[in-house]
Amino acid sequence: MRYFCAPFFKNAMNILFIMYPWERVRPESDSTLRLIHECVHRGHQVALTTGANLTIRDSVTMSFCRLIQRRDKVSSSPVTWYRQVSFNEQMLPLAGFDAIFMRSDPPLDSIVLNFLDSVKNHVFVVNDVQGLREANNKLYTAAFYDPSNQIIPKTYVSKNKEYLKRVIEDSSAKKMIMKPLNGFGGSGVIVIEPDAHQNVNSLLDFYIDGRGESNYVILQDYVDGAEKGDVRVMMLQGEPIGAMRRVPAANDPRSNVHAGGKVEKHRLTREELRVCKMIGPKLVADGLYFVGLDIIGGKLIEVNVLSPGGIVNINRLNKVKLQKRIIDWLEDTVAYREMDSQRRLEFRSTVENA
């Protein structure tokens, strides 16, 4: 077993991960664990919490946190480290952190964003609060302006069953994809074929009203090649930093690994790089710094902004460590923000003392 001696950083950071419960982490495959482990290895103070643990005390936004206890040695294996980690539980102010990393499973509770609104001007949040508000479901991709459908397949979103039935009946596409607006991990994705149109009414009843509340449904033209899987692209600051192909299990339209799919090494094609180039500036402008793109046949299907996975598989397939690049970026961004803030204070002092 190898160990890293935790290095001393002059500007060690305090980093909060808002995520799913620690007990639900799958250490062998969890992307969030890789990010947390990298932060701890570098000597940063790391705390974990969930959206349900956010609170307000004396008008200060706080959270019941699990603070990772420091060790002299940090195992080089995230899996081993996960089994060794110990916590100190405390209520801590969110404004005391240098960075907050959002890694919650979708759909996102909008109240969590309301808590973060109170500290977003003081703490660097990944991803940006307003960006998460706009892009935490599939509407973000559906509303992307692409009138000739160069990179976005024809997309329809509604909870009006009669309208959606007309869309299916009038579509010239041989097949369409139906899925719930707030689904994730491939849940609820089905293919609508011509000979199944007689079942559309009952399917829409289930999708829209099946959970006791009215839900939105997405219809998309089926993209040729979808049966071969999709490509997950990890984007950092508007640029692709890694990719893999996800191949669905037999007779299953979902290529998500948790739905039984497998992964293969992949080099981005010209068409896929074009998608990244076209969507990248918008992602950065919206504060969506670290996201996962799902691409099929050169078409953008989804943008995953909450807890995009794939780090472990991309690392394994390409013999890289994406978490190092991501935390390098986080350190540089926070350091620049601090330097800029200090610079403004010095300029203000100069003006006041003039």
With respect to residue 144, please indicate whether it lies within any of the assigned structural domains: no
Asked whether residue 66 falls in the same domain as residue 166, the answer is no
With respect to residue 142, please indicate whether it lies within any of the assigned structural domains: no
- List, in sequence order, every residue forming a beta bridge with 219; answer none if it has no partner: 156, 178
pLDDT at 4: 46
Total tally of structural domains belonging to the chain: 3
With respect to residue 342, please indicate whether it lies within any of the assigned structural domains: no
Q: Extract the tokens encoding 314.
A: 């991309």
Tell me the DSSP string of 102-125. EEPPSSPPHHHHHHHHTTTTTSEE
User: Which segments of the chain have a pLDDT < 50?
Assistant: 1-10, 254-255
Asked whether residue 58 falls in the same domain as residue 28, the answer is yes
pLDDT at 2: 44
**CATH number of the domain where residue 285 is located:** 3.30.470.20
Asked whether residue 11 falls in the same domain as residue 36, the answer is yes
pLDDT at 213: 59
Q: Extract the tokens encoding 2.
A: 């190898």
Q: In angstroms, how far is the first alpha carbon of the chain from the final one? A: 61
Asked whether residue 278 falls in the same domain as residue 311, the answer is yes
With respect to residue 96, please indicate whether it lies within any of the assigned structural domains: yes
pLDDT at 126: 97
pLDDT at 238: 97
Domain range for 8 is 3-126
With respect to residue 147, please indicate whether it lies within any of the assigned structural domains: no
Q: Is 65 helix (H, G, I), strand (E, B) or coil?
A: strand
- List, in sequence order, every residue forming a beta bridge with 90; answer none if it has no partner: 65
**CATH number of the domain where residue 80 is located:** 3.40.50.20
With respect to residue 79, please indicate whether it lies within any of the assigned structural domains: yes
pLDDT at 95: 96
Asked whether residue 47 falls in the same domain as residue 91, the answer is yes
Distance from C-alpha of 187 to C-alpha of 180, rounded to nearest angstrom: 8
Q: Extract the tokens encoding 178.
A: 């139906």
Asked whether residue 202 falls in the same domain as residue 293, the answer is no
Asked whether residue 16 falls in the same domain as residue 82, the answer is yes
